[in-house]
Chains A and B, each alone.
Chain A
């Protein structure tokens, strides 16, 4: 097609992907159109399912806060994250220290 990018190992063509997205969108719309539209409005069929509890008025009571996102991931990597947060201590002289240390290490590597 028009705008191929060769990477040396294969190629990338955005229009093939757009075609793919168009086909999958058509499929999705087709599946959606197969759904029933004869439900009764205003009855239980129309209700939001919230674990058979009453739905809260304010959305703030039902969302998942960001602090809970990826809790397991962070918990599993606790030692790694503790070390990393210790490095980001917020003290300006520490940051300068890391910079000077990097200069020193790279200097040793280059000069050797």
Chain B
């Protein structure tokens, strides 16, 4: 028996073990706990990369929990999908790799960042639960299971956002996120109920195969699309994003960025693999595109006026999510038209998926540098900060790289994905590309503001004794920096090896269905 068959389950089992064994490791003191956190994070990343290699080499991996077959065959010959499955295609595996790298960087960063606080075994337990939830959302092939992992991730993230519970703002941010997120989760559960009521199945592939567009399906589609768009912070449901991202500890924010990508994954899994060609009208693609444009523009204009460094960056998350939504919305628009797909649709999808990895890496890095500034200088207020480049040269260097990447300055990786997005959306409707360009300019403007006020300028008396952050925090940041530089130097390799298989897997609805269902139902 080849152990690699169990890789999809291992991806979930490793962080889950990490979560539940964290309190035990915490008994052994600080060193044991830290070693455990790093060990599990590295192992998760390694398992995710192995899973990705296996999927690229051997095609979509289907793993049935607890049995050999995903269905049950009655004596009458009728077979029915009953078991929980994990279905990992190239897109899922890609997202899992991206998410686990962000989680690894966040774990390295959190070691020293959280050292001043108590209750750290609970922190690492929640951290790995959040990782489990994120990876579970990305690997599952079952709608209800998706809801369960979504809730695992949500509950863990509420706990982590409110981790500094003596700060009123942290509790407030967690409460607001919790109210809106629980309601959206109920909408998702009701949508799952619709599918069960219509098709007696919650397996994504099985439902997709039987799907006939009717009222129930349309309502379920609306519930799923809007709820998942809320979870990834699209305008006009983005208000929780700046609160939660700004108040969570920096290492957690890095992971929250990756978790919002898991919601984005769910959104596009629903649109492309579950509905796919039977989506019918162009209303839903245009809804996603409009949400994307609004997110880009409103997110970035709100960011320009922010005075708190992490809140400013959180508004940029909203605007970057807008790019991805717009690009993949254009891909969805072109889905039923092979000519349009070849002309601009597939380029837009490649740009969007490339932007997912770029965004997760540089956004995670930006939040980590903001956390480093907070750790050393003790302030997040841009009106107070200044002259930090003199005392924190490494952090400044990494901040500049991340800021240049997010602003889409050539030659950084952010430019490549934005270029693909501009050129493909221009073919659909020129105004979309114009909005994206304006957003990019404003992004640059607000990061120039952060760079100028926090890092440049003369040294301030208050920050004379500030020193560079400890080595383990620098390690977490440099991990993401190295990934960004690698993506910058080898965009062609990344596109052909990482992004294109993922985009193809997303477009190929028949492949997703037949990987589970095989020949016949």
Contact = CB atoms under 8 A, between A and B. Distances in A.
Nearest to A9: B423
Given A17-B410, A102-B226, A103-B222, A63 B307 contact: no
A66 B382 contact: yes
Interface string A1-21: 011110111101010011001
A66 B309 CA distance: 10
Contacts of B198: none
Interface in A45-98: 57-60, 62-67, 69-70, 73-74, 77, 80-81, 84, 87-88, 92, 94-96, 98
B284 interface: yes
Contact of B411 (A17, A58, A94, A102): A17
Nearest to B462: A60
Contacts of A63: 386-387, 453, 457-458, 460
B305 to A, nearest CB: 6
B344 interface: yes
A66 B383 contact: yes
B279 to A, nearest CB: 10
B489 interface: yes
B240 interface: yes
Contacts, number: 147
Contact of A70 (B221, B304, B415): B304
B467 interface: no
Interface string B439-463: 0000001000100110001111110
Contact of A106 (B287, B382, B458): B287
A64 B307 CA distance: 13
Contacts of B27: none
A103 B187 contact: yes
Interface string B332-363: 00000000000110010000000000000000
A60 B459 CA distance: 8
A interface residue count range (under 10 / 10 to 19 / 20 to 34 / 35 or more): 35 or more
Contact of A14 (B184, B221, B453, B488): B488
A106 B284 CA distance: 8
B176 A88 contact: no
B155 to A, nearest CB: 18
Contacts of A100: 183
Interface string B280-316: 0101100100000000001001101101000000000
Given A2-B492, A5-B495, A99-B230, A88 B452 contact: no
A74 B302 CA distance: 10
A28 interface: no
A58 B464 CA distance: 10
A18 B410 CA distance: 9
B97 to A, nearest CB: 20
A111 interface: yes
A8 B225 contact: no
A7 B420 contact: yes
B491 A14 contact: yes
A48 to B, nearest CB: 9
A68 B326 CA distance: 33
B117 interface: no
A74 B305 contact: yes
Contacts of A81: 301, 305
Secondary structure type dominating chain B contacts: helix
B183 A98 contact: no
Contacts of A21: 411
A34 interface: no
A29 interface: no
Contact of B222 (A77, A98, A106): A106
Contact of A95 (B180, B283, B305, B462): B180
A69 B283 CA distance: 40
B493 interface: yes
A8 B350 CA distance: 12
A31 interface: no
A5 B226 contact: no
Interface in B393-449: 410-411, 415-416, 419-420, 423-424, 445, 449
B183 A70 contact: no
A23 B219 CA distance: 58
Contacts of A17: 410-411
Contacts of B227: 103
Nearest to A84: B302
B458 A84 contact: no
Nearest to B181: A99
Contacts of A92: 175-176, 179-180
B488 A107 contact: no
Nearest to B492: A3
B222 A88 contact: no
A95 B458 contact: no
Contacts of B488: 14
State the 6 A-B residue pairs at the shortest beta-carbon distance, nearest first.
A59-B458, A66-B382, A3-B492, A17-B411, A63-B457, A66-B453
7 contacts: A14-B489, A21-B411, A66-B383, A70-B304, A81-B301, A87-B236, A94-B239
Interface of B: 175-176, 179-180, 183-184, 187, 215, 218-219, 221-223, 225-227, 230, 236-237, 239-240, 281, 283-284, 287, 298, 301-302, 304-305, 307, 343-344, 347, 382-383, 386-387, 410-411, 415-416, 419-420, 423-424, 445, 449, 452-453, 457-462, 488-493, 495
Interface of A: 2-5, 7-10, 12, 14, 17-18, 21, 57-60, 62-67, 69-70, 73-74, 77, 80-81, 84, 87-88, 92, 94-96, 98-103, 106-107, 109-111
Given A64-B452, A102-B226, 19 more contacts: A7-B423, A10-B423, A12-B419, A21-B411, A59-B457, A59-B461, A63-B387, A63-B453, A64-B457, A65-B453, A66-B453, A67-B307, A81-B305, A88-B239, A94-B239, A96-B180, A98-B239, A99-B180, A110-B287
